[in-house]
Amino acid sequence: MPSLHRSPSIVVATLLTLSVLLCACSSPAPKRAVLKGDNVQAVNFSGSWEMDYGQSDNTQQKLDSMVRELNREAQRRAQQGMQQGSFGGGMVIGGSGGNSGSSILGLVRMADLITQAPLLEITQDTHKIRVKREGDFDLTCEFYPGELRRVETPFGTEICGWNGHQLVFKLLLPDGLSIQHVMTMGAAGQKLNIATTVVTDQVSFPFLLNRVYNRFEPGESGYKCEVTLTRGTVCTTEKQ
């Protein structure tokens, strides 16, 4: 897995590389954002947040679950006579085309890369929010009643706004690739969940990772955690 400590430019470059690997050759039908409603502020997310690794999704476990589901789907299709061959023409690790091992791993790597920020600093007022993510680029949104924020960038189309009590950031990239972050505040206001879904035309199922954050006051002593490929999640005590 990628290191937690990296520059935003490296993140953007890696994101673009992975998006190229995942892209299909044909132009897909345009995707619509899930946003609806009056697009007015419903929750204030302002504050400092640190990732709760114990409550957040484990990427490897989510990958294993996705592979099992893809295999079950391929077997169901094979039994129905819709497909033939290995896994009924479904996912084959190391193969090519739809549901190939490279497509699945590329999808999962992208989701993991863009959800690794251990610390968030969120500032918000009536019409704007900025989510500063340690080691990653910021998420920003402006929201006004009856209007969704839609911005065209060199990377794709960014759409953001409120969907009830949830704040949604959606990025539509070329060739059927999309990334969506949904922010939800816990009932007591001390926990924040960010559900990130990555979708590509190359894989039958979207890949979803939930990252849970706890509110904290800057300057407090605490733990610093890092996800490593060989040792899993490694946490050490440190004084801020």
Element (H, E) at 15: helix 8-22
Confidence of residue 77 (pLDDT cuts 50, 70, 90): confident
Q: Which pLDDT score is estimated for 42?
A: 84
Question: Roughly how many angstroms between the first and final C-alpha of the chain, as a whole number?
Answer: 26
CATH code of the domain containing 100: 2.40.128.20
Assess contact for 108 and 99: CB atoms under 8 A.
no
Domain residue limits at 48: 8-238
Model confidence pLDDT, tens digit, residues 34-50 = 555 578 888 999 999 99
Q: Which pLDDT score is estimated for 146?
A: 78
Domains identified in the chain, total number? 1
Considering the domain boundaries, does residue 74 fall inside one?
yes
Compute the 3-state secondary structure of the chain and give helix, strand, coil in percent, each to the nearest 5. Answer: 20, 35, 40
How many CA within 13 A on the CB side of residue 157? 14
Confidence of residue 226 (pLDDT cuts 50, 70, 90): low
Considering the domain boundaries, does residue 3 fall inside one?
no
Considering the domain boundaries, does residue 1 fall inside one?
no
Q: Is a pLDDT exceeding 60 seen at residue 167? A: yes
Q: Which pLDDT score is estimated for 220?
A: 60
Considering the domain boundaries, does residue 2 fall inside one?
no
Q: Which sign, positive or negative, has the C-alpha torsion 196, 179, 113, 240?
A: negative
Considering the domain boundaries, does residue 207 fall inside one?
yes
Q: Which pLDDT score is estimated for 24?
A: 36
Most confident of 83-92, 162-171, 189-198: 189-198
Considering the domain boundaries, does residue 97 fall inside one?
yes
More confident residue, 6 or 54: 54
Q: Which sign, positive or negative, has the C-alpha torsion 15, 17, 23, 27?
A: positive
Q: Which pLDDT score is estimated for 22?
A: 44
Mean pLDDT calculated for residue range 84-90: 48
Considering the domain boundaries, does residue 69 fall inside one?
yes
Quickly count: other Cβ atoms within 10 Å of residue 186's Cβ: 13
Model confidence pLDDT, tens digit, residues 105-136 = 999 999 999 999 999 999 999 899 999 999 88
Considering the domain boundaries, does residue 144 fall inside one?
yes
pTM metric for this prediction = 0.73
Model confidence pLDDT, tens digit, residues 7-30 = 444 444 444 444 444 443 333 333
Confidence of residue 229 (pLDDT cuts 50, 70, 90): low
